[in-house]
Amino acid sequence: MSNLNKIALQILSNGKGILAADESTATMTNRLDSVGVHSNEMNRLLFRETLFSSLSMKECIGGVILYDETIKQKTSTGKTIPEFINSTGSLTGIKVDTGAKMLAGSKQEKITEGLDGLRERLKSYYELGARFTKWRGVYSISEKYPSKLAISANAHALARYAALVQEAGMVPIIEPEVLMDGNHSASDCFNKTSEVIKKCFEELVLNNIDLKGIILKPNMILSGTNSSEKISAEEIAELTLECLKNNVPSSVPGIAFLSGGQTEIEAVENLNSINIKNNTDFIMTFSYGRALQQSALKFWSKDINNIIGTQEIFDHRAKMCSLAAQGKWSKNLENSK
């Protein structure tokens, strides 16, 4: 077993998943503004430290993805954030792309940037304590999109990123996100997501990536947010599993789904259905941001010094996600809080 494979399995195994706490300063400011909390470095750190010191970190969270600001901060106890996260048994990850910009040659689509200087940044992040990384490619669905250009350009960027990350001794999260926005059907999402993931793995193989040392972070197969079509969690699970079985090589150790605009309950119910029906060798778990944090953030905003109350809310969400990662979640357990 390679060291990269060990890292990936440590993050994903035993019902654990990933807390995506890698919101940029601008995104975190929007989140805090939405609940009436002033966004400054101290408040951003206070909220994140509250989550990182929760009881569920040891049982439910195998990895935490950070933003550049956070990985360089220290906790109230004087430990660096990576030291603090590692003390819970979780591993530290870092978002390394610099965001999605308009794709030249396509008026409506985006390409993720950040390859310039990445080798040097990865070296410094490794020294700070990071052992895995994240890069997100985004694709919109319509009759015309995603175009072959967007699919190819983003797959190429993801593969070049992955090669540099593995060279630096870290596990790359490969995140091709086909967005929920639009009125497309689940069938459209299935076809487009299949095309996107297939192209990603073609590029990863071409770039000599050790597929046992990556984590795939895809969207689930869902109808568009404006679609009149409503499909059940069971149908979502069947379509998602079929898409992944058809397009993801069996050597990949695990898949950590993004929540991508789903509610907290939808994100756990759909993950639970996927795990109940999972007839693959892939670990199927979560890499959630809002679906893990939103309820805790709303509660915390009423009194930012109510640490224990905020942690109780977060612990319940983390526990529900962990149960869903094992196919053991239920509405009764959800409502038992």
Q: Give catalytic residue positions.
A: 175, 217
Q: How far apart are CA 301 and CA 297, in angstroms?
A: 6
Q: Could you tell me where the DSSP H helices lie in 87-232?
A: 118-128, 148-167, 186-206
CB–CB of 41/201 below 8 Å?
Answer: no
Question: Rounded to the nearest 5 degrees, what angle is found at the Cα of 73, between the Cα atoms of 44 and 257?
Answer: 65
Q: Would you give the distance in Å from CA 94 to the centre of its chain? A: 11
Q: How far apart are CA 17 and CA 225, in angstroms?
A: 25
CB–CB of 133/22 below 8 Å?
Answer: no
Secondary structure element (H or E) that encloses residue 260, with its range: none
Q: How far apart are CA 144 and CA 151, in angstroms?
A: 12
Tokens representing 311?
């942690």
